[in-house]
Chains A and B, each alone.
Chain A
Amino acid sequence: MSKKLVIPIGPQHPALKEPASFDVTLQGEKVENILVKLGYNHRGIEKACESKPYLHDLYLIERVCGICSHSHATCFLQAVEEIAGLNIPMRAKYIRSLIGEMERIHSHLLWLGVAAHEIGFDTLLMYTWRDREIIMDLLALLTGNRVNYAVNVLGGVRKDISEEEKGQILKAMDVLEERTKYYAHVTTEEITIKKRLSKVGYLSPEDAVKMGAVGPTGRASKIKRDIRAEDKYAAYGEVDFKVVSDDNCDVYGRALVRVGELMEAYSIIRQLIKKLPDTPLKVPAPLKIPAGEAISRYEAPRGEDVHYVRANGTDKPERVKLRAPTLANVQAVSTMLKKGYLADVTIVIAAIDPCFSCTDRMIIAVDGKSEMTWKQLREHSINWYKKNRGVDFTKVKLGMKE
């Protein structure tokens, strides 16, 4: 019987692109336990938001994440617009969804490359990142920037899409769809990918619910939940798309879900371009937001993004709280890696598409207790949705066994 060994992975580690620490307890080559430690990238963005006017907060929130910048900015604005009671013109909603879907394409292509790199399949990394340039160029063309697009303003969007640009988007979508079909072929047929990823990082549907997995991580474990379909924000109520899920429950499933979502994103973009309504781009927005509070949800490429904003009638928010999808997913990593091998650690961590700088928040627990129990919190949320959105969630089953 070999001795147990604790190996620290991170905070600085060649396999991780961002600082996060994992203490892996090993029994031989098998992982006994894994301890996730966050907090190496805490930037105090929530607190900084309280000292800046909404206009500045928008740009700050956009810089929470370098990949899903539009997701965070839109999510934050949705909350502020709800408090201010602004009715966003349809064209603005379409453009927000359009940029959001392009962001999803660029994020998923990036993930596919990173995941391929982690398993040593660098050809796929080169291929996907080459094709990602098409979408990056397209975003630069439409918004003026490659990553922090700054396309949102309070009350609408800033930039319009011309007829010529529409043609370019459609042309790029055709090229990307052709490439993605090839990647779908590679991920399903290529024997090295299949053997390397199958049954690695297994997360059962029960555990996915228990650990609160969101986005592609949850959907790969049979949890068919997508905020775009559930809480139809922006223009998602106007387009047809299916929620891609998979029943492999492992890293292979997560790859298939993301490739499937790429194909869906192309179809959504084509529908949005076709239906783009002719309305103004924005409505005038006040500098001072009336007192109130709102929660906004958004399906970022990595999963559900939640923003809470409380306004107090001034031009600065009183409280901004954001929960990035990685915080929901990172808990599941320890479950995924139970009885796994040390060699699988990096690919399993990469499979949740982690973004640790989005995630790092500081929470001070008073006496180690939260004020609401889980049951009370669930009741409160069901009532809130019934009252404010007219959606009845009473019949939604929480776990598989209830």
Chain B
Amino acid sequence: MKNIGTILFEALKSFFKKPATSRYPYEKRGIHKSFAGMISFEQNKCIGCQICVRNCPAKAIKISKAADKIFSCELYLANCIFCSQCVMSCPKKALHTTDNFELAQTDKSKLTVKLEELSPESKADVKPEAGKTAESVQSNQDESAADKEAKTSGGQLSLPNE
């Protein structure tokens, strides 16, 4: 009888709890700014020393000369293991980690990203999968804005409520 009481108590308690899971594409949890997602590239800082290319354990990054003293960076997302060794190796701090982790694609060619083309505003265009409607893209951007707000408010660790 004691056991049944315990079970009932647990079951009733669960009725009044918020779910531990989140409705992912619609609700996003804030990610800390130091998350090692896709890297970003600052073209004006790069000196083309190729250290990142040599140190990359997955051969995922390519630096090529675009013009005199201007270099472009190409990232193969399918190869990248997100270890951020390139960020650590860069002597001029031209590479940074971003919190962009939604990198799944249905089109293979989209996994190769030319990084100098990406200004902060157009980054959201890479995120959504091919085949999504303009509406969902729009809502995606709205959410990412809401996300940013959440992130700037400290990037606190969220603890599920008991």
Known A-B contacts A59-B57, A130-B20, A191-B3; A148 and B157 likewise in contact (beta carbons under 8 Å):
no
B81 at interface, CB cutoff 8 A: yes
Chain A binder among B41-49, B83-91, B124-132, B134-142 = B83-91
A138 at interface, CB cutoff 8 A: yes
Known A-B contacts A150-B36, A172-B157; A55 and B20 likewise in contact (beta carbons under 8 Å):
no
Nearest CB in chain A: distance from B82 CB, A: 7
**In the complex, A148→B57 CA distance in Å?**
14
Interchain CB contact under 8 A, B157 and A59: no
B122 at interface, CB cutoff 8 A: no
User: B20-36: contact bitstring with A at CB < 8 Å (1 yes, 0 no)?
Assistant: 10000000000110111
Number of residues of chain A lying within 8 A (CB) of chain B: 31
Interchain CB contact under 8 A, A168 and B157: yes
**In the complex, A131→B158 CA distance in Å?**
11
Nearest CB in chain B: distance from A269 CB, A: 14
A7 at interface, CB cutoff 8 A: no
**Within the complex, which residue of A55, A60, A126, A159 is in contact with B85, where a contact is CB–CB below 8 Å?**
A55
Q: Which residues of B contact A394 (CB under 8 A)?
A: none
Chain B binder among A139-147, A333-341, A361-369 = A139-147
Interchain CB contact under 8 A, A144 and B57: no
A389 at interface, CB cutoff 8 A: no
Q: Which residues of B contact A140 (CB under 8 A)?
A: 31-32, 35
**In the complex, A63→B83 CA distance in Å?**
11
Q: Which residue of A lies closest to B35 (CB)?
A: A144
Q: Which residues of A contact B88 (CB under 8 A)?
A: 153, 158
A45 at interface, CB cutoff 8 A: no
Known A-B contacts A55-B55, A150-B85; A137 and B158 likewise in contact (beta carbons under 8 Å):
yes
**In the complex, A244→B69 CA distance in Å?**
61
User: A104-144: contact bitstring with B at CB < 8 Å (1 yes, 0 no)?
Assistant: 00000000000000000000001000110110011011011
Interchain CB contact under 8 A, A134 and B160: yes
Interchain CB contact under 8 A, B159 and A172: yes
Known A-B contacts A144-B35, A175-B159; A56 and B57 likewise in contact (beta carbons under 8 Å):
yes
Interchain CB contact under 8 A, B81 and A59: yes
Q: Which residues of A contact B83 (CB under 8 A)?
A: 59, 148, 150
Q: Which residues of B contact A133 (CB under 8 A)?
A: 20, 160
B72 at interface, CB cutoff 8 A: no
Interchain CB contact under 8 A, B156 and A168: yes
Interchain CB contact under 8 A, A60 and B32: no
**In the complex, A63→B55 CA distance in Å?**
17
**In the complex, A52→B54 CA distance in Å?**
12
A-B contact count (CB 8 A): 61
**In the complex, A172→B156 CA distance in Å?**
11
Interchain CB contact under 8 A, B159 and A141: no
Interchain CB contact under 8 A, A137 and B157: yes
Nearest CB in chain B: distance from A44 CB, A: 16
Interface residues of B in 111-162 (CB under 8 A from A): 155-160, 162
Q: Which residues of A contact B35 (CB under 8 A)?
A: 140, 144-145
Interchain CB contact under 8 A, B82 and A145: yes
**Within the complex, which residue of B81, B84, B85, B157 is in contact with A138, where a contact is CB–CB below 8 Å?**
B157
A171 at interface, CB cutoff 8 A: yes
Interchain CB contact under 8 A, B81 and A144: no
Q: Which residues of B contact A131 (CB under 8 A)?
A: 160
Q: Which residue of A lies closest to B97 (CB)?
A: A144
Q: Which residues of B contact A158 (CB under 8 A)?
A: 88
Q: Which residue of A lies closest to B7 (CB)?
A: A123
**Within the complex, which residue of B3, B34, B57 is in contact with A141, where a contact is CB–CB below 8 Å?**
B34
Interchain CB contact under 8 A, B36 and A145: yes
Known A-B contacts A55-B57, A60-B57, A130-B20; A144 and B159 likewise in contact (beta carbons under 8 Å):
no
Q: Which residue of B lies closest to A182 (CB)?
A: B162
**In the complex, A138→B160 CA distance in Å?**
13
Q: Which residues of B contact A172 (CB under 8 A)?
A: 157, 159
**In the complex, A56→B20 CA distance in Å?**
38
7 contacts between A and B (CB under 8 A): A52-B57, A58-B57, A134-B159, A141-B157, A150-B85, A168-B157, A178-B162
14 extra interface residue pairs, beta carbon distance < 8 Å, beyond A56-B57, A58-B57, A144-B35: A55-B55, A59-B83, A59-B85, A133-B160, A134-B160, A137-B157, A138-B157, A140-B32, A140-B35, A144-B36, A144-B97, A145-B35, A145-B82, A172-B157
Chain A positions near chain B (C-beta within 8 angstroms): 52, 55-56, 58-60, 63, 126, 130-131, 133-134, 137-138, 140-141, 143-145, 148, 150, 153, 158-159, 168, 171-172, 175, 178-179, 191
Chain B positions near chain A (C-beta within 8 angstroms): 3, 20, 31-32, 34-36, 55, 57-58, 81-85, 88, 97, 155-160, 162
- Those 9 A-B pairs whose CB atoms lie nearest each other, nearest first: A144-B36, A56-B57, A59-B57, A150-B83, A130-B20, A141-B32, A168-B157, A145-B36, A59-B83
